[in-house]
Amino acid sequence: MNQHIKLSPKVEAALKEGRPVIALESTIISHGMPYPQNVETALKCEAAARECGAEPATIAVIGGKLCAGLTEEEIDYLGREGTKVTKASRRDLPILVAKKADGATTVAATMIIAALAGIKVFATGGIGGVHRGAETTMDISADLEEMAQTPVAVVCAGAKSILDLGLTLEYLETKGVPVLGYGTKELPAFYTRQSGFNVDYKVDSPEEIASFINAQREMDYPGGMLIANPIPEEYAMPKETIDAAINQALKEAGEQGIKGKETTPFLLARVCELTGGESLASNIQLVLNNVRLAAKIAAAMG
């Protein structure tokens, strides 16, 4: 294995024995949620994966090592340090490795490390995508390019409407990334089950999803898959509440000239503040829901 990869003993054993393993990201811990809910959620995700029969591999860069499987202390450290930890996407990995530094991995960087470790399924909350106004800013998350070239299936709850969901789907289509809706024809919009945009294929069981991923892997060409799993009905938020918070956050980002990698964390934090924590409770539940589905998919892949 790559000299820069470090597997935890549990992840290493599970991979060696061919047991199901799922990847979990760490930008969601340091930049996506406030402390201490970020650490509590990360630990709950690991427990939920195990309950559903998969070993969790929470992924981050620690001391320049590409780690798959973190200790509780490492998760606590990422959560406490929060935005002081480098948000690490594809372009940041070589620098962090060379400097023996720490980084909380985005969907893109988590996919890279998962693929290097031999992990095929990954659960997160929301993916990065094409930002609103990208026709002039060109702000398009590296997550989308990663799904086009790295063989990892990503389970998410759609994308937040801080993004342009229509353009995000167009981009994924161009890049040849299949977008599946679990029990739905419609792309969910993270806090809400509906977005007004359709996915490519509706799927109804973890087994069916597993068969698609296995077929993609058997053909041996690059690229991943996106599985959109709607937030459970009871935790979904009223569209008007969330739209108002997102529009306000976008307006403030524009006024304050927020750019580049700061954009997504800024918008996530403002939406959370503006909805007074209601969105955080929904966020936690949808992540857990995605972890359970990813674990079932990994188990069904055989």
Cite the active site residues: 25, 160
Residue pair 21/46 in contact by the 8 Å Cβ criterion: no
- Give the containing element (helix H, strand E) for 125: none
Contact characters 157-186, ligand PSU, x per CB under 6 A: ---x--------------------------
Tokens of 14: 């599970």
**Residue 25 binds which entry of Mn ion, ligand PSU, none, CB below 5-8 Å type-dependent:** ligand PSU
Binding mask 136-165 for Mn ion (x = CB under 5 A): ---x--------------------------
Residue indicated by tokens 């070589």: 94
Phi, psi torsion values for 42, nearest 5 degrees: -60, -40
What is the Cα–Cα distance from 154 to 120, expressed in whole angstroms?
9
Q: Would you count residue 28 as binding ligand PSU (CB under 6 A)?
A: yes
How many Å apart are CA 243 and CA 42, to the nearest integer?
A: 27
Binding mask 79-118 toward ligand PSU (x if CB under 6 A, else -) reads ----------x----------------xx-----------
- Number of Cβ within 10 Å of residue 276's Cβ equals 10
- As a whole number of angstroms, the distance between CA 123 and CA 153 comes to 9
Residue 117: contacted member of Mn ion, ligand PSU, none (CB under 5 to 8 Å, by partner type): none
Chain positions 119 to 148 lying near ligand PSU, rule: CB under 6 A, are 125-126, 128, 141-143
Neighbours of 193 (CB within 10 A): 20
- Note whether 224 binds ligand PSU by CB under 6 A: no
Residues that bind ligand PSU (CB under 6 A): 25, 27-28, 32, 89, 106-107, 125-126, 128, 141-143, 160, 190, 261, 264, 268
